[in-house]
Amino acid sequence: MIWLNGQILPPGAARIDPRDRGFTLGDGVFETMAARDGHPIRLGDHLERLGRAAKLLDIPLPVEASELPAAIAAVLAANDLTTGMAALRLTLSRGVGSRGLLMPLDPKPTLVIIAAAHPPVPDHLDAAIVAVRRNEGSPLSRIKSLNYLDNVLAQQEAQARGADEGLMLNNAGHLAGFARGNLFLLKGRHLLTPPLVDGVLDGIVRHVFLVRAGEIGLDPGEASLQRADLETADAVFITNSLLGCVAIRRLDGHDLAQAPETVAGLLSLLKS
């Protein structure tokens, strides 16, 4: 069951106009989050980020933001996902528009909420540096826009090479992040992640670690990172709202150092 503009419907009964700009132009944004036992994790942070992205693209929400928690709860209940872990996705498009690129003067946005059971998170993942680049000059590089094909192609390339995750550089050759999440490196007690200006998604877990990693004795910070930094790192992590924090075990076929105690400490920050 899905939620579409205020209604709970079976997917087969839901209709989105084929002229919707989310379909024709990728004109929209989305938000992905985890839920535990029917309760979305950091819902306020996710809805705030959705609001920021919608404001950047000048897409109004079709409902009041205060109505979304109840809508999400209804989707979880309708799909019998009130126990265990679930994955939620909110998709917001500008709605139907006339032909061409200009935005409609009176937009009627489309908002969809879907939910599915989320499988157990692995202890580690393998990654490969891919050819697809992150465009740090685009405002879309810092939001979850419906124009997500760069990430799709990056992930497809990584999988074709036998890896789980595609690690993307930006156009300047700096490390940007993974196709599915943010990048963190551990160097001694320094926990480093690329800055937003390097074309990085403003990740929810990323923000938590930058603000709170000091609580477990780490020194978090942002820095433009090079490929060589991967070779000297004490550990490499991917973070996102569904995975939390997972160590990268192997990069381009080469084993990386592991720091299981650090992973455990970082995960503890996400539970409080």
CATH fold label, 124-270: D-amino Acid Aminotransferase; Chain A, domain 2 (3.20.10)
115: Cβ–Cβ under 8 A, 6 or more apart, which residues?
35, 72, 75, 76, 79, 81, 86, 87, 88, 89
Q: Phi-psi region for residue 190, left (φ > 0), alpha (ψ -120 to 50) or beta?
A: beta
Domain boundaries, the chain: 2-117, 124-270
What is the reported pTM? Answer: 0.94
Strand arrangement, sheet containing 7-9: 7-9, 2-4, 110-117, 85-93, 28-36, 39-40
Q: Which residues of 245-254 are buried (b: 16+ CB within 10 A; e: fewer)?
A: bbbbbbbeee
pLDDT digits (tens, 9 = 90+) for 183-209: 999 999 999 999 999 999 999 999 999
Crossing angle for the helix pair 204-212 and 43-57, to the nearest 10 degrees: 120
Residue 220, strand partner residues: 191
Contact 61, 109 (CB under 8 A): yes
The CA distance from 272 to 270, in Å, is 6
pLDDT digits (tens, 9 = 90+) for 213-233: 999 999 999 999 999 999 999
The CA distance from 136 to 122, in Å, is 30
The CA distance from 57 to 177, in Å, is 23
Question: What per-residue confidence (pLDDT) applies to 40?
Answer: 97
The CA distance from 205 to 52, in Å, is 17
pLDDT digits (tens, 9 = 90+) for 131-174: 999 999 999 999 999 999 999 999 999 999 999 999 999 999 99
Helix (H, G, I), strand (E, B) or coil at 63: coil
Q: For a pLDDT cut of 70, what percent of the chain falls above it? A: 100
Instruction: Give 2-117's CATH code, choosing from 3.10.290.10, 3.30.470.10, 1.10.3470.10, 3.30.930.10.
Output: 3.30.470.10
The CA distance from 113 to 73, in Å, is 10
Cβ neighbour number for residue 106 with a 10 Å cutoff = 6
Crossing angle for the helix pair 68-78 and 43-57, to the nearest 10 degrees: 120
Pick from 97-101, 112-116, 127-131, 183-187: least confident: 97-101
Question: What per-residue confidence (pLDDT) applies to 102?
Answer: 85
Residue 219, strand partner residues: 190
Q: Phi-psi region for residue 173, left (φ > 0), alpha (ψ -120 to 50) or beta?
A: left
DSSP summary character for residue 11 = G
